[in-house]
Amino acid sequence: MAVRSGGAEHYRPFVQAYGPYIYRTVFAVLHSPHDAEDVTQEVLLQIYRSLPECRLDGLKTWITRIAVNRAIDFKRSRARRPEELADEEQLSEAGQGARAGMPAAETVAIEQEDKRLLRGRIETLPDNYREVVTAFYMEDKSYEQIAAETGLAPKSVESRLYRARSWMKRHWRKEDFE
């Protein structure tokens, strides 16, 4: 990766590729376009300084963690206002099933981005798989609920989900989700 060993001129493609993703991640925590722009710049600067030591496996996870942590630090350092406290309560409630050891805001930001990416990928599924995959994985419905809604037998729902997973394994790359 040229950006690791090269100078600032090699960093531009990295910023173009990951800048919008970092902004969306930061915005999910801060809910303020202006603050998200400022923090995104700080994150990009921190990443630029840290890239020489970075291992490239898990790059997107590393970037996400830096972005969310910087956004949380920014939010904490700002003088608290009543509307911010309400936002934090909502984040805390949303993060009840938080990933172990992560702050609620970080968990929410990562989960929102993961779901957004997954929804985009689900749109590429063949029509006959998309409906059952969405119902089962995104809407947490049981085979019986899906069967009642689609008119399929529960065993047909199970079979269609199995074939959908096989299709995904053949057509989707693991790297697309890291």
pLDDT > 70? residue 83: no
CATH domain 124-177 topology: Arc Repressor Mutant, subunit A (1.10.10)
Amino acid letter for position 48? Y
Residue that wins the pLDDT comparison between 127 and 80: 127
* C-alpha to C-alpha distance for 71 and 159, rounded to whole angstroms: 43
What are the sequence ranges of the domains in the chain?
2-117, 124-177
- What are the tens digits of pLDDT across the range 88-97? 545 555 544 4
Q: What percent of the chain has pLDDT over 70?
A: 74
The predicted structure's pLDDT at residue 29: 87
pLDDT > 90? residue 55: no
Radius of gyration of the chain (CA): 20
Q: Which CATH number fits domain 2-117: 1.20.1050, 1.10.3470, 1.10.760, 1.10.1740?
A: 1.10.1740
DSSP string, 5-43: HS-GGGTHHHHHHHHHHHHHHHHHHH--HHHHHHHHHHH
- DSSP code, position 55: -
User: Would 2-117 and 124-177 be classified into the same CATH topology?
Assistant: no
Joined tokens for residue 176: 């697309």
The predicted structure's pLDDT at residue 51: 79
Tell if the pTM clears 0.75, that is, is over it.
no
Residue that wins the pLDDT comparison between 161 and 53: 161
The residue with tokens 């409906």 is: 131
In terms of DSSP H, where are the helices of 123-153? 127-133, 143-150
